[in-house]
Structure 1
Amino acid sequence: MRVGLYPGTFDPITLGHIDIIRRAAALVDRLVIGVAINRDKGPLFTLEERVAMIEEACKGFSDEIDTEIVVHPFENLLIDCAHDVGAQVIVRGLRAVADFEYEYQMVGMNRVLDSSVETVFLMAEARHQAIASKLVKEIARLDGDVSNFVTPPVQKALLSKLGKS
């Protein structure tokens, strides 16, 4: 069984993330969406809220694509998380060249830690390349329309969290 791990903070999950999840799920038998706890980033949403939003956004994918999708919170090294879930492949989404420079360093470090785990990069669809959770939160904070960047339930949760609903 080919297991892939798509890690991220997902604060909140965006249409760009969902695009990568759909396409990554087509490449593996089981896709684990690793939700990084990462207290240093100071996420807007709690871990439980992020997990629930991801599960809501992905329900039905498993049947459509015939791939098991599991949400798995983690706080350890990414390579250790890959071991924990039995992943042979780490999936990373790329939006721009700047993403590649950071990801290139991460791949190098992960290869030193365990060269048997491969990293695969998927480019976001063109219409999703500008979407970043950080920017979505900023747009929502400033009363902008985020409906082109997140699902309706995520938009509702975001506006509620910011006291804008």
Structure 2
Amino acid sequence: MKNAVYPGSFDPITNGHLDVIKRSAKIFDKVIVAVLNNPNKNPMFSLEERVELIKYATADVENVEIHCFSGLLVDYVKEKKIDVIIKGLRAVSDFEYEFQMALMNKKLDEDVETLFMTTSSKYSYLSSSIVKEVFKFGGCIKGLVPEIVIEKMRSKL
């Protein structure tokens, strides 16, 4: 049984994230979406809210679980007996950063493997930061995030 983890802050989850999650779920027996608790960030949504939004958005995907973690990803991977880290890529700039992270994870634990998955082209420009900025200035984010995210963002602002 091959298990994978798709880590991120998911603040908020976007349709680009969902694209990677659903495609990964077709490849692996189990995909854990691991929501990072990063004390250096000031998220729009609490950790608990992000987990709930992801659970709602992935309810139709049977082999996806949602967890939280903090600290080093390699420690989490070892603890949960995960085989592969999935990293979504939108552009070359994502690759440069994610490649460095994959090499560092490999240095910390030589058994850790990273799979890079490009998002579908229709989501290649999409990020949680862009979604939040567009929303704050009154732009339309329909089709970029699940409807539940739009509802929750409206209640936040």
For the aligned pair, the TM-score class normalised by the smaller chain equals over 0.9
The 1-side partners of 2:67 and 2:47 are apart by 10
1:70 matched to 2:70:
no
Q: For 1:131, which of 122, 126, 130 is the aligned residue?
A: 126
AA aligned to 1:79 is V
1:42 corresponds to: 42
The 2-side partners of 1:14 and 1:138 are apart by 13
AA aligned to 1:55 is K
1:115 corresponds to: 110
1:146 deviation in Å? 0.6
Total equivalences in the alignment: 157
RMSD across aligned positions (CA): 0.7
TM-score normalised by length of structure 1: 0.93
The 2-side partners of 1:88 and 1:18 are apart by 21
AA aligned to 1:76 is G
Cα deviation, 1:14-60, whole Å, max 9, x if unaligned, reads 00000000011111111110000002111110000000000000001
AA aligned to 1:108 is L
TM-score normalised by length of structure 2: 0.98
Q: For 1:146, which of 111, 120, 141 is the aligned residue?
A: 141
Whether the 8 Å contact between 1:32 and 1:85 is mirrored in structure 2 is: no
Aligned residues with identical type, % of pairs: 41
